[in-house]
Chains A and B, each alone.
Chain A
């Protein structure tokens, strides 16, 4: 799951890219370094801090990845999914967002 091995002090952040189909995660942070237009667009699609995201499936060859977020199904490429960091992360499916 961890991509970088250098320096135990900075483990590589866990992102939406690491969530497996069927798992649910909570968004902790959308990368600040991201282009502001892209960042706000991800927000408008529902990828905002604090929202719950379910990974539904991956396309052949791992990308794009289909998520359910804010009640809609949206797919992102791996590159974008990687810029969304997640916090709590439950491998077991939970009932849908209220």
Chain B
């Protein structure tokens, strides 16, 4: 590197490592390659548009290391959507925090080489040091295609290697290639990329020199599509799969949940025996085990939810769902991509909102961003599971199905329908006009790799565990203090333990706050203890579960499980009647379905729309919707069950 001066093809390394950008069409395997090169775990999936931000990592090469940047996929260097803006911003170093990459590694899917070469032509015309990685060569050969890498390299004038990116085959060649980044050539004559006829001519001549034989279309994919994209069967299969999934949540996850619960119960006993009574024992028993433990027991369900979403995504179903749903989404003024963003929001609204970056129309984007938080996210899952178990007996059946599972399915449907209606309203009022084209690539079905699934499940599960260990733990501990102080030792001196606990809670700081807002929520049937949970849930929805766990443990330390069901109003016209009646539970579930209680979602909305206006509108409309719908739900349930 030192034997010749800086020239065209030379990459200056002035005290920093060489920057290489991965450039390619969507779904070509850039992130898979990035993960293999850097050992990081960027999200991958068989859907065009999984990556919407850039991420950097260091790759070890045959001679030192280089910095590799994974970029969103793009069909051309003329951006049509915000994720493609990210690519161009990076390539030009437009954003001040970024430096333009020194060299480009163009990633092309060898099964769609004919199309990919158009982007390659644009990339070569940039006049930067360039090399090419071909992915999916396993599929190319399996489907009867073939090509000659040396021929392709000669025709393009840059080095080419072939890989199977997700399995890491050919990775050593890529490392070697990256090691020689200083000598990557710059295209001498820019290929034509403006004129359609010239471009097609150039592509044909390149493919000829590479002796490219294009693959047959995948037989398996067209057979599966014949069913899954069938006008009738397709929709039925989709609904059946979803319905079965919610059954599985109760039938498969519940026993595991019970096992975790048993462990916590055991620890509770151990703690009670070793710590005796007093504040420390109470803290461990109610806050840690009753509260935080009460959230942690829902880990199996959350794991299952993410497992299902990642399987759907890595198999290649998301594009199909978008294809099937486009017409229905069009009724609310959106398109099939918006459906995928909403489906991702069933994991968490934050990635769902990020996924809208692939949408070309900014109005459609904002409408989707505004309605995505209504989808049932995984933070609502523990709340629903707790409330449904109070409302519907575990033995109740709907034919062969569990009634609890059906109720949960209903809550997901409610969230989905509400977000469609809200999107429709936004599109008809604040966000009229603007129909940019809808286009979407349909990748072949692919078998998910265990590694990919593990990564896709482990990342959110780890985030859930961290959330439990940080924000939920802290808020629960703060609440424990607020519920147990002032201690009121003088007043409770003559009471028995349970009475004393209720008295302290009722007159605690938290009790005062709960009672202060009680009149607001009285029409919905919530009493001051539910209100404490409701206020606290604005920190994180799961905190509602941990707060109710604390309340129950304080009311009846012997059997907290039954305590919630037996909770009664302490004053007012309904004094002595149970709080958790069907109308109250229904109202609570609806409130949680619609209320905006997530700070990260608001922060993401603000970042993606670049203004506080939209998050403010979201908070307002969602609160009105939550309160109004909860009240209606309360009244209807009361009328039906009276």
Contacts and interface: CB of A to CB of B under 8 A. Distances in A.
A20 B422 CA distance: 36
A75 interface: yes
Given A45-B75, A71-B114, A98 B323 contact: no
Interface in A21-57: 37-38, 40-46, 48-51, 56-57
Interface in B209-227: 214-217, 222, 225
A77 B438 CA distance: 6
B208 to A, nearest CB: 9
A15 interface: no
Interface string B111-128: 111110011000000000
A45 B324 contact: no
Interface in A59-89: 59-64, 66, 68-77, 79-80
B229 A72 contact: no
Size bracket, chain B contacts: 35 or more
A48 B200 contact: yes
A96 B216 contact: yes
Main secondary structure, interface of A, reads mixed
Interface residues of A, number: 37
A41 B324 CA distance: 23
B252 interface: no
A38 B436 CA distance: 8
B340 to A, nearest CB: 13
A65 B441 CA distance: 11
Given A42-B437, A64-B336, A73 B80 contact: no
Nearest to B118: A44
A33 to B, nearest CB: 14
A74 B440 contact: yes
B200 A50 contact: yes
B200 A80 contact: no
A61 B325 CA distance: 11
A72 B112 contact: yes
B76 A44 contact: yes
Contact of B437 (A38, A50, A63): A38
A56 B439 CA distance: 15
B214 A80 contact: no
Interface in B525-549: none
A43 B217 contact: no
Contacts of A60: 231, 234-235, 324, 327
Given A44-B119, A98-B207, A75 B80 contact: no
B635 interface: no
B435 interface: yes
Contact of A75 (B76, B215, B234, B439): B439
Contact of B199 (A48, A59, A63): A48
Nearest to B435: A79
Contacts, number: 118
B398 interface: no
Given A45-B439, A72-B441, A80-B437, A97 B114 contact: yes
B212 to A, nearest CB: 8
B217 A96 contact: yes
B429 to A, nearest CB: 23
B233 to A, nearest CB: 11
B265 interface: no
Nearest to A98: B214
B439 A97 contact: no
Given A37-B80, A41-B76, A57-B229, A49 B197 contact: yes
Interface string B325-348: 011001000011000000000000
B114 A70 contact: yes
B196 interface: yes
A38 B80 CA distance: 8
Contacts of A38: 80, 436-437
Interface string B432-453: 0001111111110000000000
Contact of A59 (B200, B215, B216, B326): B326
Contacts of B119: 44
Contacts of A75: 323, 326, 439-442
Contacts of B222: 56
Contacts of B80: 37-38, 41
A59 B440 contact: no
A74 B444 CA distance: 11
10 contacts: A44-B118, A48-B200, A59-B324, A60-B327, A63-B327, A64-B326, A70-B118, A71-B115, A72-B115, A76-B437
Given A71-B113, A77-B326, 15 more contacts: A38-B80, A43-B76, A44-B75, A44-B76, A45-B75, A45-B441, A57-B229, A60-B327, A64-B326, A68-B217, A75-B323, A76-B438, A77-B335, A80-B437, A96-B217
Interface of B: 75-76, 78, 80, 111-115, 118-119, 196-197, 199-200, 204, 207, 214-217, 222, 225, 229, 231, 234-235, 323-324, 326-327, 330, 335-336, 360, 435-443
What 6 A-B pairs have minimum CB-CB distances, sorted nearest first? A44-B76, A70-B115, A60-B231, A48-B196, A73-B442, A44-B75
